[in-house]
Structure 1
C-alpha cells in the first residue's frame, strides 16, 4: 500500500511525517531490549524477506497499489519495536532507490506500514495469545496468521481516514473505502497464510528465536541417559 507523492495534501503529509519520526525514534530506543546475538541476524533476514515480498505490487486503483505488508510477521518473529525499524528501512530503500512510494509520502507510508501495520497486528496477536495461553507455543503460527489477516484491512482503513482528512485526488470517499478495504481483505488472506507458514516453520525448528513465543515454550524435563556397557 505505497502512497504516491501528491495523493495527500501537504499538512497531512507533514503530520504523518512527524508521527513517523516520533515512532521510529521510540523504536530505536526500545529495540535494543528485543535484540541479542541470536535474534539480530533474524531481524536482517526478516527485512530482506519483507523487502522482496513488497516488491510484488498490483494496482488497487486511484494511484495506490496493493501488496503484502509483512508487519505482523516481523513483529511476531523479532518483536514490534525491531519490526518497526525493519519496515522503516525497507520503505526508505524502496522510496529512495526504487521510486516505490513518494519521497514526500515516505512519512505517510512509514506511519501506515511500519507503525499501524506492525502494531495493529502485534496487539491483535497479543490479545489472542492471552486467550490461548494454555495451548502453548504450538498455536503461535495460527494466532500470527489471524493477526496478520486482521492488520491489513486496519491499515487500509487508516489510509482512508488520512484521505478523508487531506486527500487531493478527485475520488469519492465511499468508492475509495470500498476498493481499499475490499482488495486488502483479499490481500489479508494471503498475508495470513504466508505468516502462518513462515512462523510455523521457525517454531518447528527454533522456537527460541520467535519473539511471540516467549513465555509459551514448553519446558522439557531433563533427561539423563546412561549407557550400560555390553
Structure 2
C-alpha cells in the first residue's frame, strides 16, 4: 500500500507530513517509557531492548518483500503495524514502521518521497492505533492466557489493514489528483484489503506466538501475563487448580510464646522484591536477524509479482494517471534489485540483505539514542533532587 508521488496533491501531502512528524515526535517520547526496564530490573536492561526494536523494524522490512496472492492478478504484503505494536509497544511500533518506510523510500524507490507523510499516517499511525486498541480491548475480556494474546493479535492485525485502506480512501477523497467517486474507491480498497488482512493476521499471529513460546517477557503486549501452572495427568497436560489458603487447625494447640530476648529486634525486612538481572536477548536477536535475512535474501525471490492491492485498484480506477517518477529511481537498489546484476535471484537476494542491514542499523541507532536520552534525563533528575533531611 505504498502511495507513490502524484496520488495526493501537495496541500494534503503537506498536512499528512505534519501529522506524521507530530506522531513521530510523540512516539519518541512514548518509546522511552516502553523500552525502559521492567519494575525490579536493574542494569542496562533498557539498552538491551533497543536492538530488539531495531530487529522488529528489520523483520517488518523483510516480510514486506514477501507479496502473497490474494485474488486474480492481485497480491498483498504485510503492513506490520499490528506486529510491531504488540511486540515492542504502540509508540515504538510507529517508529518501527516509519523507519521501514524511510529506508524503502530512500533506497528502494518504494513509496513516494513527497508522499512519505501519507504513508507514515496510513501504514504506521492508523495501523498501530487501530490494532493496539483492538488488541487491548480483546485482552480485557479474554482469559489471561497465551492463547488469548495470539487470538487478540490475529483479530487486531485483521482489522488494521482495511482500516488503513479506509484512511487512504479518505485522504484521496480530500486531496486526490484524479476524480474517482469516494464510494467506488472505498469499496474497492476495503474489499481487497480485507483479504490482505487475513494474510497479515496469520503472519502476525504466528510471529507473536513464536516469540511467546521462547521469551514471553520480550512481548510488550504480554507483560504481566503469568503462565498457568500445568499438571501431567494420564499423559495429558491440564491446568493446575489454584492453591487453597492454609487455615489453622482448631484442634492444634497454639504455638508456645518465644522466650524474652533483651537484645533489640532486627529491623523489618524490605517487602519490595529484590532487583533482578534480566536474561540477555542475544539468542532471540540472532535468531530473528537470521530469519529476516533468510526471508529477504532468499524467500523474497519467490514472492508474487502481481500488483498489490493499491496498485491494482489504482490501475482499474484510473487513479494512477498522474503518478510521477520516483526521485530515487536511479538508486542501485531501486525496485528491490541490486545494481545491474544479470542473475535475478542474486540481485533480489542482495537487495533484501542490504535492506535488512540498513533497517536494523537505522532502527537500532534510533532506539538506542532514544533510550540513552531517557537514562540521561533520569540521572539529571536524580542529581538535581534535594537530599532528604530526615
Task: Name the TM-score class by shorter chain.
Answer: 0.7 to 0.9
Cross-structure match for 2:257: none
In the aligned structure 2, how far is the partner of 1:32 from the partner of 1:202?
A: 22
Cross-structure match for 1:92: 102
**Superposition deviation, residue 178 in structure 1:** 1.9
Unaligned runs of 5+ in 2: 36-45, 230-241, 243-390
**Superposition deviation, residue 67 in structure 1:** 2.5
Cross-structure match for 1:152: 161
More RCO (CA 8 Å, sep 6+): 2
Unaligned runs of 5+ in 1: 222-230
Tell me the alpha carbon deviations over residues 170-203 of structure 1, each in whole angstroms, 9 at most, x when there is no partner: 4332322122111110000000011111001111
Cross-structure match for 1:228: none
Cross-structure match for 2:187: 178
Cross-structure match for 1:18: 18
Check 1:26–1:44 CA distance in 2 against 1; reply closer, same or farther (3 A cut).
same
Tell me if 1:101 matches 2:111: yes
**Superposition deviation, residue 30 in structure 1:** 1.3
| Equivalent residue runs for 1:207-222 within 5 Å | 207-218=216-227
In the aligned structure 1, how far is the partner of 2:169 from the partner of 2:28?
A: 28
Q: Which stretch shows the higher mean deviation, 65-74 or 121-130?
A: 65-74
The aligned length equals 217
In the aligned structure 2, how far is the partner of 1:66 from the partner of 1:95?
A: 18
Pick one of 197, 203, 207 that aligns with 1:188.
197
Check 1:208–1:153 CA distance in 2 against 1; reply closer, same or farther (3 A cut).
same
Cross-structure match for 1:74: 84
Pick one of 53, 56, 60 that aligns with 1:43.
53
Instruction: Give the RMSD, CA atoms, in angstroms.
Output: 2.2
In the aligned structure 1, how far is the partner of 2:183 from the partner of 2:68?
A: 21
Tell me the alpha carbon deviations over residues 143-185 of structure 1, each in whole angstroms, 9 at most, x when there is no partner: 1011000000001001101111111124332322122111110
Aligned partners of 1:27 and 1:82 also within 8 Å? yes
Tell me if 1:202 matches 2:211: yes
More helix by share: 1
Could you tell me the TM-score, scaled by structure 1's length?
0.88
Aligned partners of 2:77 and 2:200 also within 8 Å? no
Flag the structure with larger Rg: 2
**Superposition deviation, residue 12 in structure 1:** 0.7
In the aligned structure 2, how far is the partner of 1:89 from the partner of 1:53?
A: 14
**Superposition deviation, residue 138 in structure 1:** 3.0
**Superposition deviation, residue 9 in structure 1:** 1.1
Aligned partners of 1:207 and 1:217 also within 8 Å? no
**Superposition deviation, residue 38 in structure 1:** 4.2
Aligned partners of 1:8 and 1:163 also within 8 Å? yes
**Superposition deviation, residue 58 in structure 1:** 7.9
In the aligned structure 2, how far is the partner of 1:17 from the partner of 1:157?
A: 18
**Superposition deviation, residue 118 in structure 1:** 1.0
